[in-house]
Amino acid sequence: MDPQHLDRLDDERTVRPTGTGAEGGSVATPPSDRTEVLARVLSSCRVVRRRQAGRPALFVAAGIIGVVGLGLTAAGAPSPVARAAGGESVSVAEELGMIADEQPALTGEEAAARLQELAATRAQREDAEAAAAQVQADADRVAAEAAAAAAAAAAEAARPHAVLPVQGRLTSQFGSRWGTLHAGIDFAAPLGTPEYAVMDGVVLRAGAASGFGLAVYIQHADGDVSVYGHMQEILVQEGQTVRAGDTIALLGNEGQSTGPHLHFEVHDGGLDGPRIDPLPWLRERGVAI
């Protein structure tokens, strides 16, 4: 037999299709064709699944295993039956590749470490939230203080520098009267009418006074002293700081008086300074009479 004839025989044995030969034996499919066999089988299984969607999944799985087993047997791979016969337990899930790799269980130390990480993260978040809340509270407090300071400044700016000592009618002015000096001005008003500090100052005296019955003396920032006499009741005490417009007494008729009124004087430069006309003094400070 010539060499070319031998080559043709080898080629025929290589490409002979899978099936039963003349001698009744099985012809092995080359390993390179196994992938194609499995692909065709899986494609057929998908068609069967769509057509038989209503059948139990176990029947479909059994059918898939049977088909795959035939294909693998034809391809030379051991079938599930052969594996079972060899003493190896084979499940449907194993044949379908449905068993995932088992994850190792956490140890107690690992679980504790993870819990500690969670607790630390939560503590950090709570600390950050508390810090942010404190910053906001500080900002709110500063804003409130600034608003209060602005309101106080506005109120101070709006507060009068000087006011009338009482809301009443001017009945007597400064000057000589019947041969004597009337050293102040008089305002008539009902008993109990509030009397006010004409400017900011400090109370030097508050109590009984000769000729006035009761009197209050207030020293102001420029050194001048204002005097209020004949009041019914005194509402301040010595050493007290007062502001322009504060109520210091209630109008009365005490001492040498012919009727309810306020006798108001100004001592220039201090308690012992000369008594001056209160009208121009008040007008110079913006008080209209």
Confidence bin at 72 (pLDDT 50/70/90):
very low
158 is written with which tokens?
Answer: 């709006």
Average pLDDT over residues 132-140: 95
Confidence bin at 175 (pLDDT 50/70/90):
very high
- Comparing 204 with 104, the larger pLDDT belongs to 204
Confidence bin at 94 (pLDDT 50/70/90):
low
Residue with tokens 């006499």: 229
Average pLDDT over residues 206-223: 96
Going by C-alpha positions, the residue among 212, 264, 209, 216 that lies closest to residue 242 is 216
As a CATH number, domain 169-284 is 2.70.70.10
* pLDDT higher than threshold 70 for residue 13: no
* pLDDT higher than threshold 90 for residue 47: no
Predicted local distance difference test score (pLDDT) of residue 179 = 85
32-36, 66-70, 130-134: range with lowest mean pLDDT: 66-70
Domain ranges of the chain: 3-95, 169-284
DSSP 33: G
pTM of the entire structure?
0.54
* pLDDT higher than threshold 90 for residue 178: no
- Comparing 11 with 124, the larger pLDDT belongs to 124
Share of the chain above pLDDT 70, in %: 64
- Comparing 8 with 157, the larger pLDDT belongs to 157
* pLDDT higher than threshold 90 for residue 164: yes
Q: What crossing angle do the helices spanning 34-51 and 57-74 adopt, rounded to 10°?
A: 160
Residues paired with 170 in a beta bridge? 187
